[in-house]
Amino acid sequence: MKKGFILIEGIIVITLMGLIFLSYLGSLNNIIILIGKIENKNRAYSHMDNVRRKLLKRKFENFNGIEEMENGNIKIETRSVKSNIKKIKIIFIEEKIESEIYVYKKE
């Protein structure tokens, strides 16, 4: 009897934690994705194709092109298909992080 009650209580707590996490995701409007800095523009365009493929797998679309920032980094803006993410910015920071995608909430 007591084990069944603890199991049901545990399921309720996990469900509530999941709902809180989903509501947190729904509050994210702008997201920055950091990938890596690329000094050569041609290399940046070829690297963007790889990034685009990875993001399309994660339901991102409508890439607006590549923009060079004041500090030399290259930024690509895009929008997500998912309703909880309205817009992301892709910023190349260091060449060694090419294959990984980090997602942060924009401040």
Instruction: Give yes or no for residue 106 having a pLDDT over 60.
Output: no
Q: What are the tens digits of pLDDT across the range 55-69?
A: 666 555 555 555 555
Residue 8 within any structural domain of the chain: no
Residue 48 φ then ψ, to 5°: -60, -35
**85 exposure class (CB count in 10 Å sphere: 0-12, 13-18, 19+):** buried
Range of the domain at 69: 30-105
Q: Distance (Å, rounded) from C-alpha 18 to C-alpha 24?
A: 10
Domain-located, residue 70: yes
Does residue 97 form part of some domain?
Answer: yes
Q: Does residue 12 belong to any structural domain of this protein?
A: no
**Confidence band of 83 (pLDDT split at 50, 70, 90):** very low
96 occurs within a structural domain? yes
- Rounded Cα gap, residues 36 and 96, in angstroms: 7
| Structural domains of the chain, count | 1
In a domain, 93, yes or no: yes
72 part of a folded domain: yes
3 located within any domain: no
pTM of the model: 0.31
| CA separation for the pair 27, 86 (Å, rounded) | 10
